[in-house]
Structure 1
Amino acid sequence: MKNQPEQNQPEQQVPILRPGTSLIQLVNGDYYVGSPRKGFCFTEIQRYRFLQSCDGKKTLSEIAQLIGCESNSLMAFLESAISNNYLLLLSDQITSGEKTRRDCESNFYISHLDSHNFATASAVLFRQRAQHEILIFGSNQFSVALFAILQAAGFSKSRIIGSFGFDATQIIAEDLAGGVIQSSDIGSTLNQISKRISREHQLVNTAGSEIYGKNQPALIIAMQPIPVDYQQRWLSESTPYLVIGPVIENQVDIGPIVLPGASTCLRCIDLSATANALTPEIATLNYLTAQERIPAGVLSILIGYTQLFVAQFLDPVLSGISHPLISSALRIDLDNPCKQSHIKWQPNSMCGCGADLGEYAGGQFR
């Protein structure tokens, strides 16, 4: 049975050519509609203009107005095209797509969060994320990839500082990993590549606004050994920071998150490690063999974990004080990333950081 168009309100029907259907003008001046194997020729210019306008975005009445004729005069063309399976009728008009990839990503995330009925409205969540300034101390591929995923997650004020004391490190061929660092970036500085990544991955557009240097950072992420003077500065400024440990014995630690004056600091950990080490030589050997670069095979999973921990810590709904990385670290075996363990620490009484031992029970901050 041939498909017939609906008779109720025919002017509001939205026609569109079937996928794979071609509409061309032949050399002799005739027109052809159909597939390479099956179709038919016609000579009416009005039929050609009608089929040319059937893009799924205009109703029959809008097409008639565009061509300059009555809707009833197009019904014969419409019925003929439907009966020959060259045309489809849609119930709704096709809406234009988003203009930019950033709009598409934002639309996707917002609709995803709304469908799960989150306590915090999605738009408000992204606006709040865009207000948090995150500093990344590091100059390897981990820091660059983490910067990209933080930008894509809505943390538009995140930025890479580089190694402690300077920011002139250039990208080398060994840094190529994943889809963030490209071959064209070789020779570029961290500052240059950061600008490109911010343009391409930033979810919330902050162009033209003064976003750096006025407020205290919400979080600092350190991927290299932190000098003592920096630790003292962050302690005096009460700036929380997350430590990404070096690769030792093919394992890497994500954490701890240090809350200055409230949780275990790095000096507490160092004092405890020195007191509990079998011999000072073992601790020295581990320090000397620590690698700064993360193997590319587990780079993605480490970045994903770090981004989730950062988002959880800065989530306005959740309490940062109950974060699983407070005075703790997630230790991941690089040979088997699914093999994970939590390492917990208590404040050391020999340290003057001010962390209260009474707030701890079994290594768990409460």
Structure 2
Amino acid sequence: MTTTTRKLVLKSGISLYSGPRPDEFFIGTLRKRIAIYGASAPAIFGALKRGANAAEIAATFSLATDQVSDLVDQLHDCEFFETHSSAIQISERANKASEHIKDASFAQIRKRISPELTVTRWLPGVLDSGVSKVSARQSAHLEISGYSRAVQHLYAALLTSGVTYTQFSPSFRRGNEQISELDLIGGYISSTDIGQVFTTTSANKSKSLALFPAVKVESAEELPNNFAEKIIKIHFGEIDPEILGLWMASGQEHLLISEISGGYLTISPIVKPGITPCSRCCQLTIADQSGATLLEGGKDREEMPIAGASYLAGLIAAELVKLIDTGSCSLSSSAVAIDLLDLCNTKHIAVGRHPLCGCGWR
């Protein structure tokens, strides 16, 4: 039963809708809502928006206390109220490195974090503004390897979303380290950066891109005793079988994005070795469904077009952030096939452990 004198705070984004029948209304979102009946429903919704408690609403509209309590309980069950307050948390490492973290830079973080709350406040179990979820993204560590034009957008999207510890592997862009005209894709690289080392330039610009401040930890001794990060490796393009084998043997969580072939590419499911299907399970599943097994690829390596690079980066960033926020995402259980000629028809492919793949043998 709801405490009738407790102030009620609706989450930002809760709306009032009219139903098809007279005096039928709904409170909530287009994703989830509850019904409320009667001509006074819009006024009751207005009282809820102002923060009136159940007792005040019952008295104002001459309603039974139990009737109002039932309505409030339904709203609570749908997690439409902010019942907890949370403050922005800066990682312990960054906090130690900056004595002025709560000055102007902290005010800037408050402004920049607001758009992220548009999503995080609606995650299951979130009863605050969503700021605690965004703050927790600092505990993740993502490492990008391989090569793709989409990486520039992905790197920026993750940093500005609060995934502060997004880095490039030492082998990233090996043999193609310098910035060229192909890197001018509307991201943070400009024409004046041509000829510079991509990773060095990216690291320098990350300081202004990142939502939260970051510090470079030089040794394990500098880490807090209770330090723990969620480490995920993301690889674009063909991967060295020895590296992939090492990741599988060590239990390293990873995500693979294939080369482009005929304007088509595949994002594998996020692999947790020994727990989920691996990238070979994905390849075998796709071969079974398509009736075709790749024997030899095209002669030349294909580059990602601008629209495709932006789309791919946004999709991967959204999935990784959701994984960090909730522990699962669509890529936890399925692969994604992207046809660059028809981006609106991206396909999800359910992938299970394949009987012909050795990862499932015990």
Instruction: Compute the TM-score of the two structures, normalised by the length of structure 1.
Output: 0.59
Cα distance, 1:274 vs structure 2: 6.4
Q: Which residue of 2 is the match for residue 325 of structure 1?
A: 331
Aligned residue for 1:303? 313
Answering whether residue 210 of structure 2 is matched by residue 197 of structure 1, we say: no
Q: Does residue 117 of structure 2 align to residue 106 of structure 1?
A: no
Residue 254 (structure 2) aligns with = 241
SS in structure 2 opposite 1:300?
helix
The structure 1 residue matched to 2:169, chosen from 149, 161, 174, is 161
Q: Report the residue type matching 2:189 in the other structure.
A: I
Relative distance call for 1:225 and 1:254 in structure 2 (3 A) is same
The answer for the alignment partner of 1:284 in structure 2 is 295
Q: CA deviation at 1:151?
A: 0.3
Say what the alpha-carbon RMSD is for the aligned residues: 3.5
Letter in 1 for 2:233: I
Q: How many residues align?
A: 253
Per-residue CA deviation, residues 66-90 of structure 1 (Å, 9 max, x unaligned), is: xxxxxxxxxxxxxxxxxxxxxxxxx
Shift of 1:292: 5.0
Distance 1:337 1:191, change over 3 A: same
1:42-53 pair list within 5 angstroms? none
Question: 1:128 corresponds to which residue?
Answer: 136
- Aligned-partner Cα distance in 1 for 2:183–2:148: 7
TM-score by length of 2: 0.60
* Equivalent-residue separation in structure 1 for 2:159 and 2:196 (angstroms): 20
Distance across 2 between alignment mates of 1:161 and 1:273: 29
Query: What's the CA shift for 1:334?
Result: 1.3
What does residue range 1-366 of structure 1 map to in structure 2 within 5 Å? 102-103=108-109, 105-109=111-115, 112=118, 118-119=126-127, 122-161=130-169, 163=171, 166=174, 169-207=177-215, 209=217, 218-271=231-284, 283-285=294-296, 287-288=297-298, 291-315=301-325, 318-320=326-328, 323-354=329-360
Structure 2 unaligned spans of 5+? 1-102
Q: How far apart, CA to CA, are the structure 1 residues paired with 2:331 and 2:206?
A: 27
Cα pair 2:146 2:239 within 8 Å, conserved: no
Q: Given the superposition, is the C-alpha separation of residues 292 and 134 from structure 1 closer, same or farther in structure 2, using an over 3 Å criterion? A: farther
Residues 179 and 196, structure 2, Cα contact 8 Å, conserved in 1: yes
Q: Deviation of residue 227 (structure 1)?
A: 1.6
Structure 1 unaligned segments of length 5 or more: list them.
1-96, 357-366
Look at both structures and tell me which one has the larger radius of gyration over its CA atoms: 1
Contact 1:140 1:175 in 2 (8 A): no
Structure 1 residue 157 displacement after superposition: 0.3
